[in-house]
Structure 1
């Protein structure tokens, strides 16, 4: 009995680590569901209907003491080009920093919509710099996108953040997005790259079903009339 107990205690950290990507998928689903349930204060559904890809990072951590930093993990999904719906999710890490006199820390839920095919292609590289390889603008909040500025209309990526119950547009220049091969391996059994997951119709894990169901519910098809004009 003692041997079994020791073995269980030794193995439990591995189980916890293996469950982290699935747990984070549940958190991402909850964040998206809560935001879309309040359309007057959330992401305009016409923008979501025209997005090529979406990135959801729950609990993005920001800390600062003279030098600031950001770190979080989340998921991306893109529209299936050869069929309806959204792709299986690939895992991402977001990292960024800033220098200046600043003290404090916070946790933020982050959502980004990729509004152009060029931006989607860049996003699927192993490393992507927001603002450096794709223009980023704070997204408008509300039921529709009629309040967009010209900058928002031409941005390849629109971003929103939710912190302490408040939801608003967020500019996130200079942060980097990287694929997380270790988390992909945990979810899919092999270290698949995000481009392969998104473009080859890899079967989504069970833990992703709720998130994909929500994406299909709130953006079942593209609405061409509202597509922002983006420089290719």
Structure 2
């Protein structure tokens, strides 16, 4: 077989295998570990002086999706993947749900050398954005408006269904997540709650609870009186 053909086959194999690797990489041994780390990451965002807009508007969110470790790396082919927890807010009672577990991953082509790790928080600002996250397999930006979250004290309000914030090596910034795949981790939800449970029952109906998540939920904001929704 000519060398050029072997090289092409090698690249095709990498393209096929990388999404599987990203989706299966086990960054946390147990669901409880992921919840604990999510609480640490959220506290870091809420306490940072550069995140004034985030701090002033996170209470308006319909949901908060926290990915403590989004890994990206590779040569020629760049892939990304991570696991996260999503909590939903009942706007009638301002009560936050227990977490639902998801994977987040995407693949891009290009000449990228090296690897990095980022902390990601998505603020789900509208019912449409939250409903999209409830689907069994959702690609961000397919049916909803997504924007990079505003950073800094002078940042202006954004009109979007989902706002994306990120931190890498201690530096905060808006991130682009268009096309990233979000998939519920049904096995992790079952392990955490001790029985099969759907994300709708966790986030919207709030039928299940795990006291272990109280540490994270206590960090989350209470809705402000007469707060107006942002976006659509």
Normalising by structure 2, we get a TM-score of: 0.82
Say yes or no: does 1:162 pair with 2:172.
no
Equivalent of 2:178, from 173, 180, 183? 173
Q: 1:42 to 1:95 in 2, by over 3 A?
A: farther
Spell out, residue by residue over 1:186-213, the C-alpha distance to the aligned partner (whole angstroms, 9 max, x if none): 1011221211111222232122111100
Name the CA distance, whole Å, in 2 between partners of 1:229 and 1:111.
Answer: 18
Higher relative contact order (CA 8 A, sep 6+): 1
Query: Using the alignment, how far apart are the partners of 1:99 and 1:42 within structure 2?
Result: 35
Deviation per CA, 1:129-183: give whole Å up to 9, x if none.
111122211101235xx623xxx62211001111111111111111011100010
C-alpha distance in 1 between matches for 2:72 and 2:179: 14
2:155 aligned to which of 129, 147, 160: 147
Q: 2:111 matched to 1:101?
A: yes
Aligned equivalents of 2:46, 2:178: Cα separation in 1: 25
Structure 2 CA distance, aligned partners of 1:220 and 1:27?
21
Gaps of 5+ in 2: 1-25
Give me the whole-angstrom Cα distance separating, in 2, the residues matched to 1:228 and 1:17.
Answer: 33
How far off its partner does 1:40 sit? 3.0
Report if the CA contact (8 A) 1:36-1:43 is conserved.
no
Deviation at 1:18, TM superposition (A): 9.8
Q: Aligned ranges for residues 60-71 of structure 1 at < 5 Å?
A: 60-71=70-81
1:189 aligned to which of 171, 191, 194: 194
User: Which residue of structure 1 lines up, in the alignment, with residue 146 of structure 2?
Assistant: 136
What residue is the counterpart of 2:101 in the other structure? 91
Residue 40 of structure 1 corresponds to 50
- 1:61 Cα deviation (Å)? 0.8
Runs of at least 5 residues in structure 1 that lack an aligned partner in the other structure: 1-15
Q: Kindly indicate whether the alpha-carbon contact (under 8 Å) linking 1:35 and 1:42 is maintained by their aligned counterparts in 2.
A: no
1:123–1:76 Cα change, 3 Å: same
The 1:49–1:229 alpha-carbon spacing in structure 2 relative to 1, beyond 3 Å, is: same
Look up the match of 2:229: 227
Q: How far, CA to CA, are the matches of 2:224 and 2:185 in structure 1?
A: 29
Rounded Cα–Cα distance in structure 2 between residues aligned with 1:161 and 1:179: 21
The residue that corresponds to 2:126 in the other structure is 116
Q: Across the two proteins, how many residue pairs are aligned to each other?
A: 207
Distance in 2 between the 1:125 and 1:214 partners? 27
Q: 1:103 Cα shift?
A: 1.4
- Separation of aligned partners in 2, 1:121 and 1:222: 23
Task: Name which of structure 1's ranges 185-194 and 40-49 shifts more when overlaid on structure 2.
Answer: 40-49
